Amino acid sequence: MNKFLLFLEKYLGAFLILVIGKTLRFRCFGNIPDKRVIYAFWHRNIIPLAYLHRKQGVAIMVSPSQDGEFIAGPVNLLGYRTPRGSSSRGSLAAMKKMLKLAKDHSLAITPDGPKGPAEKIKEGLLYLAYQSKLPIVPVAVDIKKEHVFNSWDKFRLPKLFTKINITYGDPIPIKTKEEVKTKLSVVQNKFKILEEKNRVR
């Protein structure tokens, strides 16, 4: 994609997130973090959370692919830091950037991105939590009315004026290197429980 189209998409994307976001009726549950944490949420839920946490200086890891460019441009305009990389543990360069930003900023990561499997936690999330000493805060999103795209993650675009429930889970610390592996299923299960709880409100 040429630079002009990327420039256009960047500003148009940010504008659409702001316009849609201003009409949404958010209800937030759980303990909203007041300290630095790692927000973790599914890739399909980026749009409402990008609006909700704008201008907070959160650093979100974005895929280095062209698909990632569609996300990086708009959210950067909304006040996010956007180091490029994936949530796989092998992405050392991206991890180093995130760890540097973790000293002064909360982090955000989509643990099933950039290409899935959908709603499957990857080890990179826990490794980042261990290295940064920041706890993982799972975030569940329930959108009452939405457009769902035919993509690997079933990407969600909220309809105007719809209700959205956001639930923040309890912080999950990863204190040892061993817990990067042993807590993987624990974190996955906590996501599942949180989403079920959020849906019944």
- Strand pairing of 107-109 and 38-40? parallel
Q: What is the pLDDT of residues 58-80, one digit of tens each?
A: 999 988 777 788 899 999 999 99
Q: Give the integer Cα–Cα distance in Å for 147 and 159.
A: 7
Average per-residue pLDDT in the chain?
93
Nearest to 81 by CA among 60, 51, 109: 60
Which amino acid is present at 129? Answer: A
Reported confidence tier of residue 90, pLDDT bands at 50, 70, 90: very low
What's the whole-model pTM score? Answer: 0.93
Of the ranges 7-16, 42-51, 59-68, 113-122, which one carries the lowest mean pLDDT score? 59-68
Report domain extents, the chain: 3-199
